């Protein structure tokens, strides 16, 4: 499959108002792609879109959409097809997380997370798949997580969604690559986004333990600039890499989980304590 070229190609991106999504938007704008930006944050979306236009985005349009609403996105796909001829690149990037153990989590919060992290990925992909198949050399990117490779305590709902995105993407790749559509699953680890600070507190937290843990995780574990993550994702799309694990710590955790699938968490905790 030939390398993906961005200039003049139509790129649809969810979660574009902040974090990796915003950084990706600007990377794609520098390559003169036409951008279709989706997020529920109207103010943040317009800010990022303005920056993308200044950088030379061929065409930048925004859609304020809450991916938790359960809609099939057929209307969005139809509009992109009518106005721009169809999508060449779909990046399912939007994601959320919960705080607390599974015992603490409310089922309605778990459903909310799965709707955004998993079902929206499936719905967006289904809606845009006819366009990707119809446009030679198109590409699909689904953003999983380090927690789609390892499953820590306190992240049951999030890991469930991200492992599912991983499996969905890998199986779909085996269907689509023979038909000329590139597919990449991305596993970011430790990227400095607001996902931990914006985590939904699910269950009782009267003493503020969950919120404090989220702040500590944001400050100590999320260190890679989102711009660097975006650069790596764009490079992976361009070279048609099927799998991208971001940060050396995430790659080490991935290797450990594959070598010792039943013991990796115990071992990783022992190693971590040595450096505390």
Q: Is 264 assigned a catalytic role?
A: no
* Rounded-to-integer distance, Cα 253 and Cα 38, Å: 31
C-alpha distances out from residue 210 to 88, 105, 151, 198, 233, Å: 41, 12, 18, 12, 31
Give the angle 148-87-168 at the CA atoms, nearest 5°.
25
With tokens 């600070």, the residue in question is: 197
* Rounded-to-integer distance, Cα 1 and Cα 20, Å: 26
**Phi, psi for residue 79 in degrees, rounded to 5:** -70, -40
Both tokens of residue 77? 């796909």
So which residues are the catalytic ones? 158
């Amino acid at each position: 499959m030939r390398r993906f070229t961005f200039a003049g190609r139509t790129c649809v991106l969810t979660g574009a108002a902040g974090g990796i999504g915003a950084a990706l938007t600007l990377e794609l704008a520098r390559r003169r792609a036409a951008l279709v930006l989706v997020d529920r944050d109207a103010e943040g979306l317009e800010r990022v879109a303005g920056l993308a236009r200044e950088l030379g985005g061929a065409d930048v349009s925004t859609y304020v959409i809450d991916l938790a609403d359960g809609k099939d996105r057929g209307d969005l796909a139809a509009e992109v097809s009518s106005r721009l001829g169809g999508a060449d690149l779909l990046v399912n990037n939007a994601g959320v997380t919960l705080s607390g153990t599974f015992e603490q989590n409310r089922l309605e919060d778990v459903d909310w997370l799965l709707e955004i992290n998993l079902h929206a990925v499936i719905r967006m992909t289904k809606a845009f798949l006819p366009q990707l198949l119809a446009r030679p050399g198109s590409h699909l990117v689904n953003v999983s997580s380090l927690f789609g490779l390892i499953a820590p305590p306190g992240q049951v709902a999030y890991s469930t969604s991200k492992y599912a995105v991983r499996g969905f993407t890998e199986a779909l790749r085996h269907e689509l690559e023979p038909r000329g559509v590139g597919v990449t699953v991305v596993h970011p680890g430790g990227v400095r986004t607001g996902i931990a600070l914006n985590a939904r507190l699910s269950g009782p937290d009267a003493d503020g333990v969950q919120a404090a843990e989220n702040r500590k995780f944001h400050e100590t574990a999320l260190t890679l600039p989102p711009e660097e993550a975006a650069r790596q994702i764009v490079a992976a799309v361009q070279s048609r890499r099927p799998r991208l694990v971001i940060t050396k710590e995430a790659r080490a955790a991935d290797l450990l989980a594959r070598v010792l699938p039943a013991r990796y968490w115990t071992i990783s905790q022992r190693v971590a304590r040595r450096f505390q």
